[in-house]
C-alpha cells in the first residue's frame, strides 16, 4: 500500500514536495485555503516582477532618444492594464500548477487544513463543512503574512502592506517605505520609476543590511537611488504615523540599533506623504492549524523548528518554507528544495538540506545577485581572503545596452583560490549569479572560471573578466 502523504500549503515548497512525493510512489493530498502558488505567485515574487517589467519598460520609453528612437508622444502609464496583465499571468501560472499536480495524480483540496490528532488531519471548506483526511506523513508548508506593526497597523488605504502595494489602483504621488530590505528596496525602485516620490526609512546603517549582501552592493545601490532622486534615511525608524486628511505625517527618529555613531546627530522629523508602506518582515502562519494536538511546539516567535532533514521533533511531521523563519533562507527556491528534501525523506530516503550556496536575487535597478559569504563575513570568521571586482562598464554588451552601472566581486580563499562568495550588482545580475552558485556549490577555484570560455559579447563575460583579474591575467578588467 502506498504511503499517504499530506501537504498543507500549495506554495513553491508545498506543491513541489507533493509532486516529488508522488513521483516516488506516494498517495499524495495537498490542502490549500487560497490559491496554488502561495505568496510567491499570488502576492510576491511574480506580481512584483510583473510590476518591475512594466516600470523598466516605461523608463526605456522615456529614454528612447538615447538609442536613436524618436517616440511619437510621451509615454503614459495605464494602471488598469497593468493589473489586468498581472491577473492574466497569475491565472496562467495557477493553471500550470494545477495541471502539474493532476498529471502527477496529486489530490488537491481547497479549504483550511489542520491537525486533529496523530495521523488525522481536518479540512474545513468555505461553507464550513469538515472532513477528516488520514495521513502517514505530514509536510507543513503554511507560509507567512506581512508583519503588522501595532503602532501603525495596516488599513489598506494609507498604511499599506506589501500585499496592498500589488493592488494599487493608481500610483501615489508620494510614499514612505518603512524598511530598506529586499521588499522595500524593490518596491522603491518600481514606484519611483512610475512617478512616485519615494523615501525609505531603514533602522540599520545601510540599505539591504543583510548578511548575504556585500556592502559594496549596498553602496552602489544607494548611489543609484540618489541619482534617481530617491531619498533614504538610514539609522532611523518611524516612531509615529498620523493620518491628516489626504496625507500622513510620518515621524522619524534615531534607531535603537546603533552601529554607525550617527544617532546623536539624528533629530526627529515629520515627512508628509500620501501613502506609507510597511515592509519590515513576515509573521508565521503556524497558529490555528492544530500543532498543539500532536505536541509540536514553535519557538517564541512562532516559527517551526526542524533539522537538516526537514524533520520536526514529532515523528513523521516535516516543515518547509517560510514557516521555518529567518534562521533559514526565506526564499521561494529554497522552499522548493526543502520540499524535495522533505518528500524524499518522508519516502524513506536520507537527504539533507544545505544552505551554504543559496543564491539571492534582488530585483532593484540595478539588480543584485549574491551567493556564498561576503568579504566582511569572511574576515569576521578569520578567513584569509582575496577579493577581486570588475565594473560592468568594461563590457561591450553593457555599453550597447546602456546599462553600465555595477560590478561583480569574487571572494576567494587566498591560499587555495577556492571561491567562497560571488556578489554581482548590475544588469541581469539575478540571472548571472547562477554561475557563481555553481562555483560555490562545487567548490570551484577562481582559475576554473578564468579557464572557461565565455561568449562575446555577453553580460556573462563579467565573471570571466573578474576571475581573470583574480588570477593575475586581467584583460579588460
Rounded to an integer, the average pLDDT of 320-332 is 95
Q: Do the domains at 159-280 and 360-470 have one common CATH topology?
A: no
Convert the pLDDT of each residue in 354-406 to its tens digit.
Answer: 999 999 999 999 999 999 999 999 999 999 999 999 999 999 999 999 999 99
SS3 annotation, the chain: CCCEEEEECCCCCHHHHHHHHHHCCCEEEEEECCCCCHHHHHHCHHHHHHHHHHHHHHHHHHCHHHHCCCCCCCCCCCHHHHHHHHHHHHHHHHHHHHHHHHHCCCEEEECEEEEEECCEEEEECCCCCEEEEECCEEEECCCEEECCCCCCCCCCCCEECHHHHCCCCCCCCEEEEECCCHHHHHHHHHHHHCCCEEEEECCCCCCCCCCCCCHHHHHHHHHHHHHCCCEEECCEEEEEEEEECCEEEEEEEECCCCCCCCHHHCCCEEEEECEEEECCCEEECCCCCCHHHHCCCECCCCCECCCCCCECCCCCEEECHHHHCCCCCCCHHHHHHHHHHHHHHHCCCCCCCCCCCCCEEECCCCEEEEEECCHHHHHHCCCCEEEEEEEHHHCHHHHHHCCCCCEEEEEEECCCCEEEEEEEEECCHHHHHHHHHHHHHHCCEHHHHHCCCCCCCCCCHHHHHHHHHHCCCCCCC
Q: Average of pLDDT values for 320-341?
A: 96
CATH topology (fold) of 159-280:
FAD/NAD(P)-binding domain (3.50.50)
Annotated domain spans of the chain = 4-146+283-346, 159-280, 360-470
Query: Domain 4-146+283-346: which CATH class?
Result: alpha beta
State the pLDDT at residue 127.
87
With 60 as the cut, is the pLDDT of residue 47 above it? yes
Assign domain 360-470 to its CATH architecture: 2-Layer Sandwich (3.30)
What is the pTM (predicted TM-score) of this model?
0.94
Query: Per-residue pLDDT tens for 150-169?
Result: 989 999 999 999 999 999 99
Mean pLDDT of 121-141: 94
* Whole-number average pLDDT of the chain: 94
Q: Which residues are catalytically annotated? A: 456
pLDDT score of 77: 84
72: pLDDT strictly greater than 80? no
Amino acid at each position: 500500500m502506498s504511503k499517504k502523504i499530506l501537504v498543507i500549503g500549495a506554495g513553491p515548497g508545498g506543491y513541489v514536495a507533493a509532486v516529488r512525493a508522488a513521483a516516488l510512489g506516494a498517495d499524495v493530498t495537498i490542502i490549500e485555503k487560497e490559491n496554488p502558488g502561495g505568496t510567491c505567485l499570488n502576492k510576491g515574487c511574480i506580481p512584483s516582477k510583473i510590476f518591475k517589467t512594466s516600470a523598466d519598460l516605461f523608463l526605456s520609453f522615456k529614454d528612447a532618444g538615447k538609442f536613436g528612437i524618436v517616440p511619437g508622444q510621451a509615454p503614459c502609464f495605464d494602471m488598469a492594464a497593468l493589473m489586468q496583465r498581472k491577473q492574466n499571468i497569475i491565472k496562467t501560472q495557477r493553471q500550470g500548477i494545477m495541471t502539474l499536480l493532476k498529471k502527477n495524480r496529486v489530490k488537491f483540496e481547497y479549504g483550511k487544513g489542520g491537525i486533529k490528532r496523530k495521523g488525522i488531519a481536518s479540512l474545513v471548506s468555505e461553507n464550513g463543512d469538515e472532513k477528516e483526511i488520514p495521513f502517514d506523513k505530514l509536510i507543513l508548508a503554511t507560509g507567512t503574512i506581512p508583519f503588522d506593526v501595532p503602532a501603525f497597523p495596516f488599513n489598506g488605504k494609507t498604511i499599506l502592506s506589501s500585499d496592498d502595494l500589488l493592488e494599487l489602483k493608481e500610483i501615489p504621488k508620494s510614499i514612505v517605505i518603512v524598511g530598506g530590505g529586499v521588499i522595500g528596496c524593490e518596491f522603491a525602485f518600481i514606484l519611483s520609476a512610475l512617478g512616485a516620490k519615494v523615501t525609505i526609512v531603514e533602522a540599520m546603517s545601510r540599505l539591504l543590511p543583510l548578511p548575504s549582501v556585500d556592502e559594496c552592493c549596498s553602496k552602489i545601490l544607494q548611489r543609484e537611488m540618489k541619482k534617481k532622486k530617491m531619498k533614504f534615511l538610514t539609522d532611523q525608524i518611524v516612531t509615529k504615523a498620523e493620518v491628516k486628511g489626504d496625507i500622513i505625517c510620518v515621524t522619524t527618529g534615531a534607531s535603537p540599533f546603533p552601529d554607525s555613531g550617527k544617532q546623536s546627530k539624528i533629530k526627529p522629523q515629520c515627512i508628509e506623504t500620501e501613502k506609507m508602506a510597511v515592509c519590515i518582515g513576515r509573521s508565521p502562519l503556524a497558529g490555528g492549524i492544530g500543532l498543539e494536538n500532536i505536541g509540536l511546539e514553535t519557538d517564541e516567535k512562532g516559527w517551526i523548528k526542524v533539522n537538516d532533514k526537514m524533520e520536526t521533533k514529532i515523528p513523521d511531521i516535516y516543515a518547509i518554507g517560510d514557516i521555518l523563519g529567518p534562521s533559514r533562507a526565506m526564499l521561494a527556491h529554497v522552499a522548493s528544495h526543502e520540499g524535495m528534501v522533505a518528500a524524499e525523506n518522508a519516502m524513506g530516503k536520507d537527504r539533507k538540506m544545505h544552505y551554504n550556496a543559496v543564491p539571492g536575487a534582488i530585483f532593484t535597478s540595478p539588480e543584485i545577485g549574491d551567493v556564498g559569504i561576503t568579504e566582511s563575513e569572511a574576515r569576521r570568521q578569520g578567513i584569509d581572503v582575496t577579493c577581486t571586482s570588475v565594473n560592468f562598464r568594461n563590457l561591450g554588451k553593457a555599453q550597447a545596452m546602456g546599462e553600465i552601472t555595477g560590478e561583480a566581486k569574487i571572494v576567494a580563499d587566498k591560499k587555495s583560490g577556492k571561491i567562497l562568495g560571488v556578489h554581482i550588482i548590475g544588469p541581469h545580475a539575478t540571472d548571472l549569479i547562477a554561475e557563481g552558485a555553481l562555483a560555490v556549490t562545487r567548490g570551484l577555484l577562481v582559475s576554473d572560471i578564468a579557464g572557461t570560455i565565455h561568449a562575446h559579447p555577453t553580460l556573462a563575460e563579467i565573471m570571466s573578466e573578474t576571475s581573470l583579474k583574480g588570477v593575475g591575467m586581467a584583460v579588460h578588467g
